Amino acid sequence: MIEYPSEPDTPRSHLPFSPSTKFGDLIFVSGQASVDATGKIISEDFEGEMRRSMENMRKVLETAGSDFQHVLQTRNYVQDPADIPLFNKLYREYFSEPFPARTTITNCLGAALRYEVECIAIAKPKI
């Protein structure tokens, strides 16, 4: 059975997609960008947008019963290739070795965004 985990404070978009879907222990998190709780884009510098996007992903993962330690793969979208060194530095604040599998694509977002992230994770084991 497919689940669609959601809480009132789960970051949302006005676009037609769920923040995450869950099937068994697998969790698929939709792209998280620098948006507020209503889905309004909050434009900042690259670091600010990446941090907001990652914190939005953290909330979606927690709602689905997971966390950054249970992420299997990330897909990262960085608008400006010049931001890759800062991206790698900040990424290490959220993930540590052994790192999840990762794909990073540049020059791919519209003018409104500098960064977006999505992931596949597993649910935290029940104690």
Task: Name the nearest CA neighbour of 79 among 41, 117, 42.
Answer: 117
Share of the chain above pLDDT 70, in %: 100
For residue 126, what pLDDT is reported? Answer: 82
Q: Which domains does the chain have, with CATH numbers?
A: 2-122 (3.30.1330.40)
Q: Tell me how far apart the alpha carbons of residues 36 and 31 are, in angstroms, rounded to a whole number.
A: 14
- Is 127 a residue whose pLDDT tops 80? no
Question: In this predicted model, what pLDDT tens digit does every residue of 50-105 receive, in sequence order?
Answer: 999 999 999 999 999 999 999 999 999 999 999 999 999 999 999 999 999 999 99
Quote the pTM value. 0.94
DSSP string for the chain? -EE----TTS---SSS--SEEEETTEEEEEEE-SB-TTS-B----HHHHHHHHHHHHHHHHHHTT--GGGEEEEEEEES-GGGHHHHHHHHHHH--SSPPEEEEEES-S-TT-SEEEEEEEEPPPP-
